[in-house]
Amino acid sequence: MDINQLIQEAERAKKKAYAPYSKFTVGAALLTKDGTVYHGCNIENAAYSVTVCAERVAIFKALSEGVNEFSALAVTANTDRPIAPCGACRQVITEHCHKGMKVIMANSKRETHECTVGQLLPFAFSREDLNEQHDE
């Protein structure tokens, strides 16, 4: 699966978005090591803060099926520049995807921007920081 195909999968996922409040639809496509693609779309809620982004939906779908080895993530929306995942999603992506994994950001004009997970969230707080947890 090449990058353009993965973006196309993200575009398909975007069509399923449930975004009646923002009207801002987002699609994500998560490629697993074995070549399976998990789709994600944003799912909003009348209690706005309960909304889940497309990226996290894709990751949580895979994890909930016992799949946790990923090789690329594509995200797309109707933005002027290729859509950049929000901070909450960057934290979740960092927890479950290796540092060198490619993140492909795109928009509906098929403009793209690529970076690695490590570049997406430098100096990330991670599970390693919890190892030496002491009370004062």
Ligand X SMILES: O=c1ccn([C@H]2C[C@H](O)[C@@H](CO)O2)c(=O)[nH]1
Q: Which residue is nearest to Zn ion (CB)?
A: 53
CA 37 – CA 44 distance, rounded (Å): 22
The answer to whether 26 contacts ligand X (rule: CB under 6 A) is yes
Considering beta carbons, is residue 31 or 59 the nearer one to ligand X?
59
CA 86 to chain CA mean position, Å? 9
Give the residue with the Cβ less far from Zn ion, 20 or 35.
20
Judged by the rule CB under 5 A, the positions of this chain that interact with Zn ion are 53, 86, 89
Q: Is 111 a catalytic residue?
A: no
> Residue 3's binding partner, choosing from Zn ion, ligand X, none, with beta-carbon cut-off 5 to 8 A by kind?
none
Q: Which of 19, 63, 67, 124 binds ligand X (CB under 6 A)?
A: 19
Task: Record the tokens describing residue 18, joined without a space.
Answer: 């449930």
Residue 54 near which of Zn ion, ligand X, none (CB within 5-8 Å, type-dependent): ligand X
Q: Quick one: 33 or 115, whose CB is closer to ligand X?
A: 115
Structure-derived torsion over alpha carbons of residues 4, 91, 37, 14, reported in degrees to the nearest 10: -70
- Of 121, 42, 99, which Cα lies nearest the Cα of 75? 42
Report how far residue 40's alpha carbon sits from residue 103's, in angstroms, rounded to the nearest whole number: 14
Q: Which residue bears the tokens 């993965």?
A: 6
Enumerate the H helices of the chain as residue ranges. 3-14, 54-64, 87-96, 117-120
Would you name the residues annotated as active-site residues?
55
Residues that bind ligand X (CB under 6 A): 19, 22, 24, 26, 42, 44, 51, 53-55, 75, 83, 85-86, 89
